[in-house]
């Protein structure tokens, strides 16, 4: 399989079903009611207009021990053993090229889950996310010239106070030299950074009483910082919560359908949850659980190696929805951290294309204790 050791892969695949799944499910059986009640007690919130900008666009903390379902300590020990094997599958440095098959995607996601479970459980006053986004740009006369705006944003999510800064490090590129030549010939009209003619290229900062985390299940619903931290810590618990939210009241989706959207497919719904969990203030065991759930989904493929616009190498997990639309999660095989997301096709041994926009790169995520101060590492 393109240089990958079949024996090691079989061992990785065998570790989790025999230990992690059983222990996680046993623990969840004892804690199911409290897991779900604790997560949804407050319920999703409708965002205020001031907070909606974050959803449309898409620290060193003190160590804390999380009280999770029984059996997770043993599961962590099993994950440690798995991580040793995984290091043989993805050695330090450039990942080996992996065939784009569903079986390979299953193995890679299983391995990523075991790695994610080993991350230290830390916390702080604010969850920090720094991302660089690539989106189409237009002029004041609504002409695009094939231009792409690259901007950096930083967000500090707190339980009471939050801050968002956008339009940092603005730069523009063009889909082709011909597009740029047309723009120059037109007199280099100013370009915007948000895809419409009203955009500005100046950095701006806003303060909020609280920025919620947009989660699927209620279309524009929000979870608070504490709700995200208390998402179910087991595979069975997280799967049950996601399924219950996907099977929510029909009228929720029918109302949205009147505005052009219908109930999403489960795969699309799950992919959105994976994105929210992997970029949010969730515990290592919750991140591990979403990887395990994704590993069980049919039709996934992986493309490796790929390079994000910042030059980092990762593995792209591809999910195809109805009408051929695909969504890619680009994951670091060494740390199981999300590097980027994109809706544009990616190819092995290539840089993720930014022409056309639709690419977000995650530069840094973590806990900090002060607004304006990123994590130290």
Is 367 in contact with 59 (CB distance < 8 Å)?
yes
In the chain, alpha helices (H): 6-15, 22-40, 52-56, 72-89, 102-116, 177-185, 225-229, 235-246, 250-257, 266-279, 284-295
The backbone torsions φ and ψ at residue 179, rounded to the nearest 5 degrees and listed phi first, read: -65, -45
Residue that has been written with the tokens 């620290």 in this structure: 59
Whole-number pLDDT of residue 311: 95
Q: Which pTM was predicted?
A: 0.73
Confidence of residue 322 (pLDDT cuts 50, 70, 90): low
Whole-number pLDDT of residue 358: 87
Whole-number pLDDT of residue 198: 54
104 to 86, 93, 217, 221, 349: CA distances (angstroms): 13, 20, 30, 34, 17
Taking CA 265 as the corner, what is the angle to CA 353 and CA 324, rounded to the nearest 5 degrees?
40
Look at phi and psi of residue 213 and say left if phi exceeds 0, alpha if psi is from -120 to 50, else beta: beta
Q: Per-residue pLDDT averaged across 37-61, rounded?
A: 38
Confidence of residue 185 (pLDDT cuts 50, 70, 90): very high
Confidence of residue 273 (pLDDT cuts 50, 70, 90): very high
pLDDT, tens only, 83-137: 433 333 343 444 444 456 778 999 999 999 999 999 999 999 999 999 999 988 8
* DSSP state at residue 20: I
In 153-265, alpha helices (H): 177-185, 225-229, 235-246, 250-257
Nearest alpha carbon to residue 35 among 68, 66, 64, 75: 68
Candidate from 81-95, 284-298, 362-376 with smallest mean pLDDT? 81-95
User: % helix / strand / coil in the chain, to the nearest 5?
Assistant: 35, 25, 40
Q: Which residue has the higher pLDDT, 78 or 183?
A: 183
Candidate from 25-29, 168-172, 266-270, 320-324 with smallest mean pLDDT? 25-29
Q: Which residues contact 46 (CB under 8 A, 6 or more apart)?
A: 220, 221, 222
Q: Which residues contact 191 (CB under 8 A, 6 or more apart)?
A: 137, 138, 139, 145, 147, 149, 172, 201
């Amino acid at each position: 399989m393109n240089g990958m050791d079949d024996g090691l892969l079989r061992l990785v695949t065998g570790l989790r079903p025999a230990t992690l799944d059983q222990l996680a499910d046993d623990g969840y059986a004892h804690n199911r009611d409290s897991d779900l009640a604790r997560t949804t007690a407050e319920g999703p919130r409708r965002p205020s207009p001031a907070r909606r900008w974050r959803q449309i666009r898409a620290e060193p903390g003190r160590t804390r021990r999380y009280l999770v379902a029984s059996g997770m300590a043993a599961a962590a020990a099993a994950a440690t053993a798995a991580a040793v094997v995984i290091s043989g599958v993805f050695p330090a440095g450039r990942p080996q090229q992996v065939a784009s098959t569903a079986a390979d995607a299953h193995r890679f996601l299983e391995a990523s889950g075991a790695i994610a479970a080993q991350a230290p459980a830390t916390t702080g006053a604010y969850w920090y996310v720094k991302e660089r986004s690539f989106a189409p740009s237009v002029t004041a006369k609504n002409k695009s010239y094939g231009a792409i705006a690259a901007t950096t944003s930083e967000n500090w999510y707190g339980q009471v106070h939050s801050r968002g800064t956008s339009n940092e490090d603005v730069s523009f590129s063009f889909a082709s030299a011909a597009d740029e030549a047309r723009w120059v010939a037109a007199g280099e009209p100013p370009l915007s950074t948000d895809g419409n003619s009203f955009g500005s290229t100046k950095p701006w900062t806003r303060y909020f009483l609280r920025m919620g985390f947009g989660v699927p299940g209620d279309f524009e619903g929000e979870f608070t910082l504490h709700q995200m931290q208390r998402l179910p810590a087991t595979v069975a618990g997280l799967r049950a919560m996601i399924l219950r939210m996907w099977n929510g009241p029909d009228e929720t989706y029918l109302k949205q359908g009147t505005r052009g959207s219908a109930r999403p497919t489960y795969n699309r719904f799950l992919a959105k949850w994976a994105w929210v969990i992997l970029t949010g203030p969730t515990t290592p065991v919750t991140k591990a659980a979403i990887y395990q759930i994704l590993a069980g989904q049919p039709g996934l493929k992986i493309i490796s190696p790929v390079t994000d616009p910042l030059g980092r190498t990762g593995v792209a997990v591809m999910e195809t929805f109805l009408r051929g639309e695909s969504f890619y999660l680009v994951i670091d095989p060494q740390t199981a951290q999300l590097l980027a997301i994109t809706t544009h096709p990616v190819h092995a041994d290539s840089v993720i294309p930014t022409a056309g926009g639709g690419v977000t790169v995650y530069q840094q995520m973590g806990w900090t204790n002060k607004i304006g101060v990123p994590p130290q590492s």
